[in-house]
Amino acid sequence: MAAEPFDVIVVGSGAAGGTAAHALTGAGARVCLLEAGRSYDPGRETPMFQRTAAAPLRDAGTPDKPFGFYDATVDGGWELPEEPFATAPGTEFRWFRARMLGGRTNHWGRVALRYANHDFKAYSRDGLGADWPFTYDEFAPWYDRAERLVGVFGSNPGLPDQPDSPPGCLQPPPVPRSHELLIMAGGRRLGRPVVPSHTAVITQPIDGRLACFYATPCLRGCSIRANFQSTTVLLPPARATGRLTTLTHAQAYEIEMAPDGRARGVHYLDRLTHRHHFIPGRAVMLGASAMESVRLLLNSRSTQFPDGIGADSGLLGRGVMDSTGSNVWGQFPQMENLPPFNDDGVWLPHVYIPWWAWPEQRAGRLPFTRGYHLELYGGRLEPSADTFDFLDDVSPLTYGRRLKEEAQRYYGSFVRLSQRGEMIAREHNRVQIDPVLRDQWGIPSLRFDVRFSDQELRQTAHAQQSMAEFIEAAGGKLVTPLPRNPAEAILPPGRIIHEVGGARTGVDPARSVTDPFGRVWGVPNLYVIDGAVFPSSAHKNPTLTIVAFASRASEHLRKALRHA
């Protein structure tokens, strides 16, 4: 450990923390990175060529491995016995944690969409939630940097809900597969766009990274560095500078303040030895994931901040959001009894359905005010335990030889459409420190009080109908009927693992927790750089915006350190 304080202490090693470590060490700063989980090396640990049939339970999910035996997440999930959390009566929030170096970047879905200007300024349009403190044009250069750094394939279809990227930012998208071509045909019949997805997987080599050659489901991690992970793209260059110190199993639990109102450093607990340690630093950046960063602020109480650092406005912990999510499955007779053929590709959607009804919504002709997009999954991927989940719906009560024949007949003919929509930030959707509950190490735990409103339910009803229309327009048929009540279709908050908010950024200290660069109001050397700063969530997966915001905040801190 260094004798002198580090220039920056970064808490968290995923999209936000990894970006900060990469940017700051590259600019000459000495960085100490605190990661609550264990070390992880995708180059050694990714089961690149392991067959699904060789996995326990044929790679079906279990409580400790909800996404299957080969999923990259280690020591994580929604339910961690040693790290409980509470929920208010009548709520069902799910809090996913990945306790490993690189965090969720090791297994995320890698959809990397830019927010549009109407996403940054949604409050100005409908009066719900809060605006971001900058416009799309002001933030766009940071998206450019993020796309080049991460490596994103996609296209520029010129749609109002999907800003185009400048030349050199996007890699060529892979060609659509057979099931995707069907949905594209359905979109043409409906007059709705189906376009190449923006996905954080490279299709051309860059910076020593190999292009994807379709060997492995992306959620396993990637030893060839084709997909974006902090552990393969951000941390190795930071480590190569010689200015990065990484501490794993280091659970940060309190930020210590100096009498002059500046952050002095971070207290952490070694999860293996249960020993307490203190790391001093000239500045602190929180990128531990949205709810973990909020917990750290709430638990950092003192005479200066009796309710937690950043709680002066009363907004710390408020405005928590997740993406809305629901699914509709279709079965396509056109895909039955096909001979074996190569339908390989990235193990993620090559195309998606952007929000097409933005003009109609802006004119007030829809019963909800924020949008959604649709992702599609299916095709002739390697069979696993859930490949034939709906076989009994189309061929009930079969067994023996007949069951095998039906499995061959229907293999590859099921397609899932998934809604990903915007949840509006409301102050009553919040997290607090539970007055009683503690984790295994004695650190106070969070209590969630987060629920969907009628806005999200009406949006889900619209999405369910839209997904059914796409399937039918493409020549498919619904596997199961749509529920009459959208509350039966919508997945509970937290289930999509896009939780953001709780320490919103803004221009007014009375209406936000951080300034436009993520700096906590009144604490000039303490930054929040992950999804906690989001004043609104859009319907787009948050990771690309987190990387862009963390990069922007790191540049702001770099200049501040230079002039300190």
pLDDT at position 385 is 67
The size of the chain, in residues, is 564
Predicted confidence (pLDDT) per residue in 51-62, tens digit: 888 899 888 888
What is the predicted pLDDT for the residue at 2?
A: 47
The C-alpha angle with vertex 526 and arms to 520 and 527, in degrees rounded to 5, equals 70
Closest CA to 500 of 130, 201, 144: 130
Least confident of 64-73, 135-144, 227-236: 64-73
Provide mean pLDDT across the span 488-514.
98
Residue 343 is predicted with a pLDDT of 85
Radius of gyration of the chain (CA): 23
pLDDT, residue 58, reads 85
According to the model, what pLDDT value does residue 350 have?
A: 97
| Per-residue model confidence (pLDDT) at position 564 | 65
**% of the chain exceeding 70 in pLDDT:** 99
119: pLDDT confidence band, cut at 50, 70 and 90? very high
**CA-to-CA dists, residue 425 to 87, 116, 125, 490, angstroms:** 18, 17, 14, 17
pLDDT at 176 over 50: yes
Say whether pLDDT at 432 is over 70.
yes
Assigned token pair, 29: 């700063």
**Spatial separation of the C-alpha atoms in residues 228 and 540, rounded to whole Å:** 17
pLDDT at 280 over 50: yes
CB 509 within 8 A of CB 270: no
pLDDT at 154 exceeding the cut of 70: yes
- In this structure, of 389-393, 520-524, 531-535, the range with the lowest mean pLDDT score is 389-393
Residue 239: φ, ψ to 5°: -65, -35
Cα gap 241→116, rounded to integer Å: 35
**CA nearest to 550, candidates 5, 121, 20:** 20
Q: What is the pLDDT of residues 53-112, one digit of tens each?
A: 889 988 888 888 899 999 999 889 999 999 999 999 999 999 999 999 999 999 999 999
Helix boundaries (H) for 379-487: 391-394, 400-410, 454-473
- Whether residue 522 contacts residue 148, with contact meaning beta carbons closer than 8 Å, is answered with no
Do 249 and 265 meet the contact criterion of CB atoms below 8 Å apart?
Answer: no
- The mean of the pLDDT values for the chain is 95
- Report the pLDDT value the prediction gives residue 4, as an integer from 0 to 100: 72
More confident residue, 199 or 344: 199
CB count in 10 Å sphere of residue 80: 17
**Residue 436: CA count within 13 A, CB half-sphere:** 2
> Which among 110, 307, 140, 322 is positioned nearest to 218, based on CA atoms?
110
Please check the confidence at residue 230 and state whether its pLDDT lies above 90.
yes
How confident is the model over 5-11, as a mean pLDDT?
Answer: 96
On the question of pLDDT at 1 being above 70, the answer is: no
Tokens of 314: 């009363």
Domain assignments of the chain as residue spans, ordered by start: 167-196+324-421+453-489
Tell me how far apart the alpha carbons of residues 528 and 507 are, in angstroms, rounded to a whole number: 15
Residue 563, pLDDT score: 75
Question: What pTM, to 2 d.p., does this model score?
Answer: 0.97
- Percentage above 90 pLDDT, the chain: 87
Least confident span in 99-103, 291-295, 337-341: 337-341
Query: Residue 185 corresponds to which tokens in the numbers above?
Result: 């045909």
